[in-house]
Amino acid sequence: MSAKVTLYVDYRSPFSYLVKEEAYALARDFDVTLLWQPFTIDLQGAYGGEVEERTDRDWRKVRYAYMDARRLAARHNWIIRGTTKIFDPTLAHTGMLLASQTDESVFRCYHDTLCERFWRRDLDIEDAGAIRSLLIEAGAEGRAFDELILSGEGVRRCRTIATEAEERGVFGVPTFVLQETGELFWGSDRVWLLRERLSGTGSQPRCQNGCQNEI
């Protein structure tokens, strides 16, 4: 029986970009259904408010995060350039929903291309026309994207997903959730734990629901 795993990502997080190869490998190596879902994290709360409001400590935290991301990206010859502002990811996340419901190959093309261009600063994810063009390039229908935006359905779905994610205990990205146990695996450096669980070699938690309610 195929295991079900949900992966929550936010296109504004470089680590949501960096996890993709491990996520693809997970789907390749195991009998799993991998569902990619957008989760808009509170970047202001995590890194000291708007860019101009950050303290020296906040900036040290931001710089270290980017340093770590670049070290990991260098292993794949990927480029990570720091963003110049805190973007609204709603359009890009709506595009993710459309691409993933269209076809796996469409999603991967959309996801990979968006991440590569955004982190090179070659794509404005707040530009609806740019996201629409990228979806068409990946093989999705531009009209379907228009309908999601104009009707407000894209925003509603993103909010619903975020609410459900928080109820499951999700607080950051990337986060894998194993549906069978409710366990969370946050960050690409925890993927090996998920792989152990899927292979049946990992130890089971002694508490219920993935230990989310126990400290």
Residue 13 bears catalytic tag: yes
Question: How far apart (Å, rounded) are the C-alpha atoms in residues 176 and 188?
Answer: 9
How many beta carbons lie within 10 A of that of residue 56, not counting itself? 8
Q: Which of 2, 13, 16, 100 is catalytic?
A: 13
* Number of domains the chain contains: 1
Bond before 174 cis per omega within 30 degrees:
yes
Confidence of residue 58 (pLDDT cuts 50, 70, 90): confident
In residues, how long is the chain? 215
pTM: 0.89
Q: Shortest CA distance to 35 belongs to which of 210, 177, 152, 170?
A: 177
pLDDT, tens digit, 9 for 90 and up, residues 159-197:
999 999 999 999 999 999 999 999 999 998 999 999 999
Please give the residue range of the domain that contains residue 18: 3-211
Question: How far apart (Å, rounded) are the C-alpha atoms in residues 132 and 62?
Answer: 30
Domain CATH code at residue 176: 3.40.30.10
pLDDT, tens digit, 9 for 90 and up, residues 192-214:
999 999 998 655 655 545 555 55
